[in-house]
Amino acid sequence: MTLTQAHLHDTQASMRVWRSADGTRLAGDAWGDPTGAPVILLHGSGQTRHAWTRTAKALADAGCHAITFDARGHGDSDWSPVCNYSQGAMVRDLDSIVATLDGRLPALVGAGMGGSTSLLAVGERHVNASALVLLNIAPQTESTAVARLQTFMRQQPGDFEAATALSAEGLMQTVRCGEDGKYRWHWDPGFAAWPRDLTRRESRLSTCARNLALPTLLVRGESSEVVSEAGAQAFLRLCPRAEYVNLRDAGHTAAGASNDVFGKTVLRFLLRHINATCQMS
């Protein structure tokens, strides 16, 4: 499949809204034939659903039903009034969307935070899925790189010198310009402040990885600082049936960046493993 603008030009999304179990409003887009094989794409920390736009369009063109949504506290979705950004809350949000698919099993594609959500949802048997793709996420992550990302997210856009700097960093999708002319992130500052126990997280995700029995693909950007090659290999020991791709000239998708670089790899894997009604074009 060729991911060209011409190929994707005519595919349009329909805006969707879901409600999670606690009433949180989740905003998203649905692409393609609603009766096609469902694929839910989950973005990373600090991203929005738009990080998956080109891949969602390509999946729709292949006959699939692609769904992208903003995680709670991100983009156009609600901020949690009680500042609940736990992994459990994220899994329940995903489960609320899966529940609208009339029993059809979705493939789950998650980058970073979205990958953790997907791995937990499947590994702890909250959600049944047809396939799982994890992008730059594994139980074992590099704590220094994670801390650096969290520090970045706690900054204010005003800490950057000008909008041109935001544009140069690829961050314009993740900020809003208020009536006062000041830039603010698309995410709730409370999300960045949510405490994270990396040791407990690694233990929990490792158990989930051992439980995986569905087609699974781990994709790592070769220059990712968050998931090292050692972390990837540790995941493959936990889930030896998983496939693995280490992409050259790709890193960890930073806040605001697109996931386009992973698109072709994701498509090839999914279209080998999900409903045969989806065909490569």
Tens digits of per-residue pLDDT, 242-252? 999 998 765 54
Give the CATH number for residue 85.
3.40.50.1820
Which pLDDT belongs to residue 220?
Answer: 92
42 is a domain residue: yes
The mean pLDDT value for 186-196 works out to: 79
In a domain, 279, yes or no: no
Instruction: Give me the mean pLDDT over the 149-156 stretch.
Output: 64
* Residue bearing tokens 């998650």: 110
Q: Does the residue 215 lie in any domain?
A: yes
Confidence check: pLDDT of 210 > 50 = yes
User: CA-to-CA distance for 202 and 216, rounded, in angstroms?
Assistant: 18
Task: Give the pLDDT score at 83.
Answer: 93
> Residue 116: inside a domain, yes or no?
yes
The verdict on residue 280 lying in a domain is: no
User: What's residue 169's pLDDT?
Assistant: 46
Radius of gyration of the chain (CA): 18
Residue 222 has pLDDT above 60, yes or no: yes
Give the pLDDT band of residue 49 (cuts 50, 70, 90): very high
pTM of the predicted structure, to 2 decimals: 0.84
Q: Which residues of 55-79 are buried (b: 16+ CB within 10 A; e: fewer)?
A: bbbbbbbbbbbbbbbbbbbbbbbbb
Determine, yes or no, domain membership for 130.
yes
Measured between alpha carbons, how far is 72 from 93 in angstroms, rounded to an integer?
A: 8
Specify the 3-state DSSP secondary structure of 154. Answer: helix
Q: Is residue 143 part of a domain?
A: yes
For the record, the structure tokens of 120 come out as 């937990």
SS3 of 119, please? helix
- Sorting pLDDT into bands at 50, 70 and 90, what band is 257? low
Confidence class for position 130, pLDDT limits 50, 70, 90: very high
Output the average pLDDT for the chain. 83
Residue 57 has pLDDT above 70, yes or no: yes
Rounded to whole angstroms, how far apart are CA atoms 151 and 143? Answer: 12
Burial group, residue 81, by CB count within 10 angstroms (0-12, 13-18, 19+): exposed
Into how many domains does the chain fold? Answer: 1
pLDDT of residue 176: 62
Q: Which residue segment(s) compose the domain that 109 sits in?
A: 5-273
Confidence (pLDDT) at 161: 45
Segment among 1-10, 58-67, 90-99 with least mean pLDDT: 1-10
Residue 239, in any domain of the structure: yes
Cβ 43 vs Cβ 52: under 8 Å: yes
Report the range of poorest mean pLDDT among 15-19, 71-75, 83-87, 182-186. Answer: 182-186
- Residues 227-243 have pLDDT tens digits of 889 999 999 999 999 99
Q: Which residue has the higher pLDDT, 191 or 28?
A: 28
Q: How far apart are CA 149 and CA 162, in angstroms?
A: 21
